[in-house]
Structure formats: structure tokens, C-alpha cells
Amino acid sequence: MVALFACASALSVANVYYAQPLLDALAVDFAIGRAAIGGVITVTQVGSVLALLLLVPLGDLLPRRRLMLVQLVALTASLAGVALASNATVLMLGMLAVGMLGTAMTQGLIAYAASASAESERGRVVGAAQGGVVAGLLLARALAGLIADIAGWRAVYASSALAMIAMALLLWRTLPVLTTTARPLSYPQLVASMLTLLRRDRVLQVRGTIAMLMFAAFSILWSALVLPLGAPPYSYSHTAIGAFGLVGVAGTLAASRAGQWADRGWAQRTSGGALLLLLLSWLPLGLFGASSGPVALVALIAGILALDLGVQALQVTNQSMIFRAHSGSHSRLVGCYMLFYAVGSGSGAIAATSMYAAAGWTGVCLLGGAVSASAMLFWAVTLEKRPPRA
């Protein structure tokens, strides 16, 4: 069952990130300027925010298997809409819907995994599901690049629509039925209760802010990287660009191990190490822009590896900490938490492409380093206050 959660999470989250290695192709096909093409990622993250506010909390109210089936059918239709988009407006609307429904599925599965597991192993189970998310991120970039080179970017979304149909059948037949002990709430009360969680839960506030900053840094790298790699002197294909995402496969291992460390009470030490790694990753990434050839590529690979390790270890630690209480509110907790993520990821994407247009790769790395330093500083300041559940 843990493996099922991981695989389903991977396939779901991949839909939100297929566009990253395709930005240059989308810019050409829909006549969107390079400074503005990051808006494709941003509108997807706007969809993610809407999902976290309006769809993810439904997991605490409705039967989850039925809810996921409806969401998967709608996601399939949205993917087909993107594949058939004839202009930039239709593309953006399709990306908005894919962001909403792909996010709703992914975070619903993580909340499902947390609710189905015992408290003593929750970090391990959530870590495994998050490992699937990491794998999905990596596969999204590599697979999207490969399919785009073979059959065009539209085939990426058409193929994913078929995969979602297969996943719907598997989940409907396999997922366990969970009973809820929470008192019944109306939908308006359910959504309003998220504001209460955001206002009262200090661990959620602190960990959410850290997540916003770390995912801004993550998005700054991956939204801008396609631009220098697709231009001279590299001029790599989409397949080659997407393959760079596979460097971060170690992030899957970090996600699994970080969950176990959180179960042992080492969450703050894991956080400090992950944030330091995130900050240091921008040094080799900066060297990539300062030179060319094999040395530059080795520096790039080292930076990607360090950044993905730090982000994924921190992500699992954050989620393990916020799930320690409120057992009947896991869907709302993950929805609140991922709101911070969506804000960081969306703002990082548009900031990265704008910075690249203005100051090149060096400007992108300075921006990423500044955001990473802010995350570490915030963690250090809030650590002194010792949140009650940390």
C-alpha cells in the first residue's frame, strides 16, 4: 500500500511539472516572450493555490476514493485540453486546471497516507509518499523532454491523460476505505476551519514559511535552467535538458531517510542541515554560469544534487511535524501547508525568468542564494522560540 501511495503521488504531481523543460517550445508555439514564459508555471501554481483552498480540504469531508475518481476524470479532461490548445489563452486555462487537479490528487494522497498510518510510523509513510513525489518531479522533466523530442510537446499531455485513466481504475480497486471521527462540517465551515488552523497552529506557520522560501529557491533553478541549456554553446535537446532532473534522484533517498529521522525526534537537526545544503548549492550552480565545457557541467550537476537533497529532506521533515496533531484534519493541514509552497513556487518561476532576461544566469543564482539565505535565517530565528510541537 505504501508503494501504491508513492507511485500514484509520482504520476499525479508529474502533471504539474511537465511544462518546465518545455518552456522554450511553448514560447515559440504560442509567441510568448522569454521574460513572460515563466507565467505558464505561475498560472499552474495559481491553480495549485485554488486546489489547496477549495479541493484538498474535501478529503476531510467526503469519501476519499470517490473524490479521487471524480478528480481524476476532470484531470484527464484538462490534460486533453492542454494537448489540443490552439492559442495562449486556452493553454493558460488548461494549465490552470491541470495545476488545480494535479495538486488536489497529490496532496490528497499524502493526506490519505498520513491518515492510514500509525503515529509511530507516520514520518516513514509520509516520507515514502513524498519520495514518490520526488520521483514524479524527476520523471516529469525527463519524460516530458523525451516525448517532446519524439512527438512534440502536445504528446506529453496526451500520454499523461491516458495514464490518468489507468491510475483511476487502480486506485478505485485498491485504496482502503477510511473512517473519520471528525464532527460533520458544512463545506463553508470546512474551508473556514483552514483559516483557524493557519491562525492558531504555530508549527504550521513556521514550517509553511520555510516551505514558501525553499520552494521559491527550487523553482528559481528549474524554471530558469532550460533557458541557458537550450541556448548556445549548449543548445541541448529537450531530452537532454530533462535528463538533468534525474541527477536529483538522491532526493528520493533523502525524503525517505528524513521521515525516519523525524520519527526519532531529530526534525530540527535535519532542518538545519537541509537548509545549509540548500544555501551552499548555489555556489556550484553559480560556477556553471561562470565557465563552459565539462567543468561547468560538473558544477551544475553538483549544485542540482545538493539543492534537491536539501529541498526534499526539508519537505518531509516539515510535513512530518505538521501531521503530529489534528488527526482528523490531515487534508486541511496539507492544504494549508502547500498554500505556502504554491506561493513560493509560482513567484520563484516568474522571478527566475524575469531575472534571467535582465541579468543572465549569474542574476538567477544570486536571487536563489538570497532566497535560500532568508529561509535559513528565518529557521534560526524561529528555532529560538521553540514551537510547542517542534
Contact call for residues 14 and 140 (beta carbons, < 8 A): yes
Residue 182 has pLDDT above 90, yes or no: no
Domain that holds residue 102: 2-178+185-383
Q: Is the peptide bond before 176 cis (omega within 30 degrees of 0)?
A: no
Residue 389 in any domain: the answer is no
Under DSSP, is residue 84 helix (H, G, I), strand (E, B) or coil? coil
Give the number of other Cβ atoms within 10 Å of residue 131's Cβ. Answer: 26
Residue 238 in any domain: the answer is yes
User: Which position has the grid cell 528559481?
Assistant: 220
Cα-based angle 50, 56, 62 (whole degrees, multiple of 5):
130
Give the number of other Cβ atoms within 10 Å of residue 345's Cβ. Answer: 29
Under DSSP, is residue 59 helix (H, G, I), strand (E, B) or coil? helix
**CATH number, domain containing residue 192:** 1.20.1250.20
How much is the pLDDT for 253?
Answer: 62
Residue 263 in any domain: the answer is yes
pLDDT in tens, 292-311: 778 888 999 999 989 988 88
Residue 202 in any domain: the answer is yes
Residue 390 in any domain: the answer is no
Residue 181, classified by CB atoms within 10 Å of its CB into exposed (0-12), middle (13-18) or buried (19+), is: exposed
User: Which position has the grid cell 536563489?
Assistant: 368
Average pLDDT over residues 342-369: 90
Number of structural domains, the chain?
1
- Residue 124 identity (one-letter amino acid): R
How much is the pLDDT for 121?
Answer: 73
How much is the pLDDT for 187?
Answer: 83
Locate 164 and state its grid cell.
Answer: 490518468
pLDDT in tens, 274-294: 999 999 999 999 998 777 778
pLDDT in tens, 112-171: 777 777 766 766 777 778 778 777 877 787 788 889 889 999 999 999 999 999 988 888
Residue 76 in any domain: the answer is yes
Under DSSP, is residue 36 helix (H, G, I), strand (E, B) or coil? coil
Locate 327 and state its grid cell.
Answer: 488527526
Average pLDDT over residues 32-40: 79
Residue 109 in any domain: the answer is yes
Q: Where are the alpha helices (DSSP H) in the chain?
A: 2-17, 23-29, 39-54, 64-83, 88-116, 122-151, 153-174, 187-200, 202-224, 226-229, 238-243, 250-263, 267-280, 282-290, 294-322, 330-383
Cα-based angle 42, 25, 242 (whole degrees, multiple of 5):
80
Locate 375 and state its grid cell.
Answer: 529561509
DSSP 30: T
Summary mean pLDDT of the chain: 84
Residue 387 has pLDDT above 50, yes or no: no
Residue 388 in any domain: the answer is no
Give 171 or 355, the one with higher predicted confidence. Answer: 355
